Structure 1
């Protein structure tokens, strides 16, 4: 018996091989930059080229999966069933996002660059990274609005777009994404509270 699990079609996939590829891809890109070769990633992971290409079409897609999986483990979705001011909830969430992003800012800038010339990659980046985080912020803001912490005439989706616009601007220009900036963004979002 092997550790592989059978898929509906094709050859079995080994979760350990996928984990090794993601781990080594992130490590090598952090150490050597995006120019690291697929061959180096495969060698470090101890798998075949076919193993990689059975899972991902490009190095960028492999890195997206690796980074998103890491982000999901490190940044908790706010629990809106808990009591407490939503300003504090959103500040904590944004600080966690910024802390995680600071580790891989160069990689995220590469993703943005790749997304400009590759519509399929752009769709994956939006679906797996941008939109889920936008919806989390919108949910917190809507909850704050329902609790009377934000005026009813404020648009949570627009506020979220402004928060994320400031985030991407700072990321692209390599400006600080620190705790103070996270707090300032949230403070501004809650300005004009009910």
Structure 2
């Protein structure tokens, strides 16, 4: 969780950016568990208290650094762009997987940290997990509204299935790539549509 300046004055933006960049570089080079707050502040050339004025823990700092970078990888799908929903989902997942692959070790470490710190678990969910869940849920709802997904589908549940699939692979070191994004998209839109049609035929 990012802290405000204790004096009430705006914090130095450049100092915060430097700390985040330094933290990301060090954890990529040495591994999350091998990098301490002391190492980060020494490398960044600031006092330890300067870091703690902004973040409660190393995990909070690294999460903010990761969050900054995900803006380039996982922007919300352009729901008003006119593209079909399956195309939007596949592109979005491909972008997300690119980031998860690049910083998979860091994200696995943050997930582990979230299991040990209830406050950070809430922060991790609110800042990283929930926004991506919402993006996919919104996309699936658009697909329902367009008739691209069955009106019987529970978009929150389908979104949970999608996230479960790629978080499982991430945690177990599986491959996250464009082929997997395509496979998920097929299962969501094509396979489920075929199941719906079969169900409707049987009911008729």
Tell me if both proteins adopt one fold, taking TM over 0.5 as the criterion.
yes
1:82 aligns with 2:81: yes
1:15-164 paired onto structure 2 within 5 Å:
15-34=13-32, 35-164=34-163
- Residue number in structure 1 paired with 2:192: 192
Q: Aligned equivalents of 2:88 and 2:117: distance in 1?
A: 35
Unaligned runs of 5+ residues in structure 1 are 1-5
- Counterpart-to-counterpart distance in 2, 1:62 and 1:7: 15
- What residue in structure 2 maps to residue 14 of structure 1? 12
Deviates more, 1:60-69 or 1:36-45: 36-45
Q: Which residue of 2 aligns with 1:178?
A: 177
The 1:156/1:78 distance shift into structure 2, 3 A limit, reads same
- 1:3-61 alpha-carbon deviations (Å, 9 max, x no partner): xxx96944541101000000000000000011212122112212111110000011010
Which contiguous aligned blocks of 4+ residues in structure 1 show a shift greater than 3 angstroms? 6-12
Match of 1:3 in 2: none
Partner Cα distance (1:14, 1:177) in 2: 37
5+ residue gaps, structure 2: 197-204
**Alpha-carbon separation, structure 2, partners of 1:56 and 1:7:** 11
- Deviation, 1:77, is 1.0
Mark the CA change 1:8 to 1:118 in structure 2 (over 3 Å): closer, same or farther.
closer
CA separation in 2, counterparts of 1:124 and 1:81? Answer: 30
Give, in whole Å, the separation in 1 of the partners of 2:192 and 2:56. Answer: 47
3-state secondary structure, aligned to 1:50: helix
Please say if residues 94 and 178 of structure 2, whose CA atoms lie closer than 8 Å, have aligned partners that are also in contact.
yes
For these two proteins, the number of residue pairs brought into alignment is 189
Indicate the larger mover: 32-41 or 142-151: 32-41
RMSD: 1.6
1:130-181: CA deviations, max 9, x gaps? 1110010000000011101001101111111001001111001000011100
1:74 Cα offset (Å): 2.9
